[in-house]
Chain A
Amino acid sequence: MTESSGEQMLHKEYWDLTYVSGPLVFLQNARRFPTGAILNIHLENGESRQGQVLEATTTHAVVQVLQGTVGIDVKGTSVSLRDDAARVACSPDVIGRRFNGVGQPIDGLPPVVPEKELEISGSAINPVSRAQPNDFIETGVSAIDGFNTLVRGQKLPIFLGSGLPGNELANLIVQNAGTTRAEEQFVIVFGAMGITAREAQYFLRAFDEGGQGGRVVAFLNQADDPAIERLFTPRCALTVAEYLAFEKDYQVLVILTDMTNYCEALRQVSSAREEIPGRRGYPGYMYTDLSTIYERAGRIRGKQGSVTQIPMLTMPDDDITHPIPDLTGYITEGQIVLGRGLHRQGIFPPVDILPCLSRLMNNGIGKDKTEEFHREWANQLYAAYAQGTNVRKLMAIVGEDALTELDRKYLAFANAFEREMTGQGFSRRALSQTFEIGWKLLGMLPKEELTRINKKTIDSYYTPIMEDGLHSPFMDEVPSAM
């Protein structure tokens, strides 16, 4: 029914505009278009833009204009129906292509001949249809593989601060996570919202250099592109990702960057609609809105493919309690957090493991997947590192002399941990090597301290190093920079 009425309206133009403000225009006759419809907006000078109907009341319909309202007037501008909902062209041919933030090609090639045109708003995966994500993805990053394991179908964001090498970390993950079993097909869907040309180029070049270029579908909305389009970009990317994963059996890794820009666009529309603002002016429904993006990851029973999401966001002022990282953390299955202190010390990747988490880690590790001791091993290293950083704080107040002998061991441990475990440099590290370094580090602590590890495991793997425990077992290999 929508279609038949749609047909009639499709090319019919209406001079309905009554009000223009910020990214919004109001139409006086709201009965013509369904909510969610995509309209063509024809400017008097011949230019054409797109808008989406957000709300309809008896007096007016609210339309957000994707490319901004500059130049639109209420006399000469007309609207016509383009589509009854926002859609994106899906076909296996999208792989290797580049699109703008709303799915139009920008690589100079003709538009993709769609096998399907799917609504970008998507629908929720029925929770009973979901399959439990439990396939370990080896990223080659110790801080992730060892302590916050990524599994297929997970959504694991990277929280970074301005100036921290988040892109480089994402790239490192992409280069390694792409290794799949022989019979599987892998594809990267890259959704960029409001990133600079420099960042966009960095990613695209990195994909090419890593040999992934042909396996990338990119949706690029750059900083100088219309801000409202950013609201469509992640949804286009995820619609294509779901299509490739659940209809074409691909293992899909979705990188979304930068979610902070997305949220700002959301706030912009919300304030133009004069909605009651929530924390820091972001709309009260931002949690729900973000969840309709992040929840589009996972596996489905009986299907081969999977959608794994790595959204990236910049924490304003490194504040993890800011609404954007906060709401994200409530939805995603863990988070990887970068620390400025580590970065300043020249440690790469500067992953601050303490606030990091992977909620699905337990499903991806253990016997037959990684190592049987993996969980205990990680718990012990976590606990010891936390203790070490506590001692470091204490030392800043009371001085080193006031520390007990055990405290000093913990301090040495924490320092060695950051240098040896976290700071692996821009290279892949095998999981077995991560484990080996971990056991070496644990060797710096007395056996009685290792209460998180099963006795049997300790007997087989623990070797105490350096009786006094104050020196790093790595001293011989790496000259101390302290």
Chain B
Amino acid sequence: MAVAVQEQTTGKLVRISGPMIEADEMLGVGMGEIVRVGKLGLMGEVIRIDGDKVYAQVFESTEGMFLGEPVVATGAPLCVELGPGLLGATFDGIQRPLEDLRQSSGDFIGRGITAVALDREKKWPFAPRVTPGQAVLGGDILGVTQETRVIEHRILVPPRMTGVIAWVAPEGEYTVTDVIARLEDGTELRMMHRSPVKQGRPFAKKLLLDTPFLTGQRVLDCLFPIAMGGSAIVPGGFGTGKTVVEQSISKFCNAQVIVYVGCGERGNEMTEVLSEFPHLEDPNTGESLMSRTILVVNTSNMPVAARDASVYTGMTLAEYYRDQGYDCALMADSTSRWAEALREISSRLEEMPGEEGYPTYLSARIAEFYERTGRVVCCGVLADSETPRIGSLTAVGAVSPPGGDYSEPVTQTSQRVSGAVWALDAALAYRRHYPSVNWNRSYSLYFDALKPWFEQHGPANWITLRQEAMTLLQRDAEMQEVVQLVGPDALQDAERLVLEIARMLREMFLQQNAFSKSDMFCGLEKMGGLLDILLNFHEACRETLKREVPLSRVLDLPIREEISRLRDMSNEEFPAKKADVQERMKQALAGLQAH
């Protein structure tokens, strides 16, 4: 890159306070610029400027530093490297590959280690898609390389660049730093480029959201579906299963590229992902899950400032694949830890605190973050054509409210800006009802927009079935209140039937076993089938009760258990088995006599 060599601004440390430092003699350094701190050259980001003094948050531990050590400006904001080789990799919050860190500093992460994100040696087969003389815009595809068996990596002209191709490399193998094209003004383009993380990558325009982001989780896809390009939050106290939900979604959702950000969470959880994902199949392509996944990991005991970086790093990586025309999903577990990092830095800056000590700009940051999602027309010359390239970015953020109290600022703010809330409930988790999504507190604002899609592509009568299920749950909730007052014996048989069917709905439909092979992923067809047979059963039982058959005899039918067990059928076996059970159910109920 043609950057004039300037003398680097070098200042001196004048204050060290945990993850925050102050340095003076730094005139000319910009907000958000990366500085190298101390003799170890730790990375820091400028977060306040006061005359020639700058305040910076440091992405590594500052222990052992002396005042007076040098602080060097780098002239650039925090950036990530974008190019082939991202998929399947595991990075820390500032995009250092963890495997490289392991090789240079051993099993424990040392300090002051630099490592580049993309392998400089590896050669990628490159096939050009432009010809000399062709005018290009930022976002246009220069050429492609097969990054993994599923994902064709499209090498893009960096954002906001325009020019005419003077030369393009012939088909062949190149490293990420080899020049693969030159513009007429002399600009050299490589397979890799850098992008600042705190600024969203540009797109031509946002589109309406009308396709569902399917997760394979019944309670989510059926009751609270979100759209491709939408966002959802998963709030839940500890032990409610946020991480299992996030992991299940990243395993089974219908996005093509997944970026999983472990922000301030457990180290062993990442080990779990790293040891499981390579062996699991993507239900949509049959390939190893790892070949569509990028992990960004900043565990709770890693430096707190890097948590802030990690969510932005993850978001930018996901945007990059969106710009190539893929459906991407960002999983952030947990956004509360990120908010806490903001709070810690803010308090070191001695800013006036907002609610619960969080900085007053918390809500703005969270809103900016979720607004980087969407379904977009990608930049490039095709943007205004009939056949633009379309990509999407869906975000699912876990929220960890202290004490499980949803009134706290992070939950409240996230709730306002995300399109769906999948609220996890400790009481359900205690009963081992997983996923512990509370159907009374959760909601999705996308359902109406998705209706046409479901009507066209969903299972038969999907909209009606879903509505009936919702009604049933609502009636169940009301009746449970009555039961709490007068006891179940006071209810009529028809009412008790509702309670029983609702219980079956909870057990065979809303609950899903994330560890059972046949149940962990549920396709739409099976979802529709399960609801259908259950609601049919309800209807048939009601008819039977009208013939004055006592409820206890209806409930004693062994067919009831068989209906419940249908959920253990794999997606393939299910249709035949369902037809069989349904037939026998009709017979069994018809055979019941009043006395």
| A residues whose Cβ falls under 8 Å from a Cβ of B | 1-2, 5, 30-31, 33-37, 55-58, 84-85, 121-133, 153-154, 246, 275-279, 284-285, 287-288, 291-292, 295-296, 298, 300-301, 303, 321-323, 326-327, 329-331, 333-335, 354-355, 357, 359-360, 362-363, 375, 378-379, 382-383, 386-387, 394, 397-399, 401-404, 407, 447-448, 451-452, 454-455
Contacts and interface: CB of A to CB of B under 8 A. Distances in A.
A454 B63 contact: no
Contacts of A334: 239
Contact of A295 (B67, B239, B301): B301
A284 B432 contact: no
B405 interface: yes
Contacts of A84: 64
A453 B446 CA distance: 36
A378 B432 CA distance: 9
Contacts of A327: 402
Given A84-B64, A398-B485, A451-B561, A331 B266 contact: yes
Chain A to chain B: the 3 pairs with minimum beta-carbon distance, closest first = A402-B487, A321-B403, A291-B300
Given A127-B274, A354-B430, 4 more contacts: A31-B66, A278-B356, A402-B490, A454-B568
Contacts of B343: 278, 284
A24 to B, nearest CB: 14
Contacts of A296: 301
A399 to B, nearest CB: 7
A118 B90 CA distance: 29
Interface in B8-61: 14-18, 22, 39, 61
A57 B430 contact: no
Nearest to A398: B487
Most buried by B among A124, A379, A382: A124
Given A130-B270, A133-B268, A288-B304, A275 B347 contact: yes
A357 B63 CA distance: 36
Contact of A55 (B17, B61, B264): B17
7 contacts: A58-B15, A85-B63, A127-B267, A130-B271, A330-B400, A398-B485, A448-B556
Interface string B334-350: 00010010011001000
A57 B17 contact: yes
Q: Which interface residue of B237, B238, B565 has the most chain A CB atoms within 10 A?
A: B238
B151 to A, nearest CB: 22
A208 to B, nearest CB: 33
B109 interface: yes
B90 A127 contact: yes
Interface of B: 14-18, 22, 39, 61-68, 90, 98-99, 101-102, 105-111, 237-239, 262, 264, 266-268, 270-272, 274-275, 297, 299-302, 304, 337, 340, 343-344, 347, 353, 356-357, 400, 402-405, 426, 429-433, 483-490, 507-508, 515, 556, 558, 560-561, 564-565, 568
Nearest to A2: B64
Contacts of B402: 279, 321, 323, 326-327
Contacts of B508: 451
Nearest to A303: B107
A310 to B, nearest CB: 16
A371 B348 CA distance: 52
A278 B515 CA distance: 38
Contacts, number: 231
A275 B349 CA distance: 11
Given A246-B107, A288-B340, A394-B487, A382 B431 contact: yes
B518 to A, nearest CB: 11
Contact of A132 (B109, B268, B488): B268
A371 B101 CA distance: 39
Contacts of A153: 268
Among B266, B297, B515, B558, the one with the most A-chain Cβ atoms within 10 Å of its Cβ is: B266
Contacts of A355: 239, 426, 430
A407 B403 CA distance: 31
A151 B561 CA distance: 35
A118 B304 CA distance: 23
Given A124-B301, A292-B301, A407 B488 contact: yes
Given A132-B268, A357-B239, A403-B489, A126 B109 contact: yes
A451 B564 contact: yes
Contacts of B105: 126
Contacts of B488: 402-404, 407
Given A56-B67, A403-B488, A386 B275 contact: no
Nearest to B426: A355
A362 B268 contact: no
B238 A329 contact: yes
B108 A126 contact: yes
Given A124-B301, A130-B271, A382-B431, A326 B403 contact: yes
A304 to B, nearest CB: 13
A124 B299 contact: yes
B486 A287 contact: no
Q: B39, B66, B275 — which one has the most chain A CB atoms within 10 A of its CB? A: B66
A123 B108 contact: yes
A131 B300 contact: no
A85 B64 contact: yes
Contacts of B98: 126-128
B267 A35 contact: no
B400 to A, nearest CB: 6
A84 B110 CA distance: 17
A327 B401 CA distance: 10
- Chain B CB count within 10 A is highest, among A56, A57, A154, A382, for A56
Contact of B560 (A154, A288, A300, A448): A448
Nearest to B428: A386
B449 to A, nearest CB: 34
Contacts of B238: 326, 329-330, 335
A301 B405 CA distance: 38
A226 to B, nearest CB: 22
B357 A386 contact: no
B330 to A, nearest CB: 19
B484 A276 contact: no
B266 to A, nearest CB: 7
Nearest to A274: B350
A127 B356 contact: no
A401 B490 CA distance: 11
Contact of A123 (B65, B110, B426): B110
Nearest to B560: A448
A304 B484 CA distance: 55
B14 A57 contact: yes
Given A291-B300, A360-B268, A403-B487, A284 B67 contact: no
Contact of B299 (A34, A127, A246, A378): A127
A139 B301 CA distance: 28
A231 to B, nearest CB: 14
A404 B489 contact: yes
A391 to B, nearest CB: 10
Contact of B483 (A131, A330, A331, A394): A394
**Interface hub of A288, A291, A454 (most chain B Cβ within 10 A):** A288
B405 A321 contact: yes
Contacts of B430: 354-355, 382, 386
A413 B444 CA distance: 39
Given A58-B14, A278-B357, A287-B340, A397 B561 contact: no
Contact of A287 (B16, B300, B347): B300
Nearest to B101: A126
B72 to A, nearest CB: 17
Contacts of B302: 124
Contacts of B239: 329, 334-335, 355, 357, 359
A154 B266 CA distance: 11
- Residue among A126, A284, A363, A407 facing the most chain B CB atoms (10 A cut-off): A126
Nearest to A295: B301
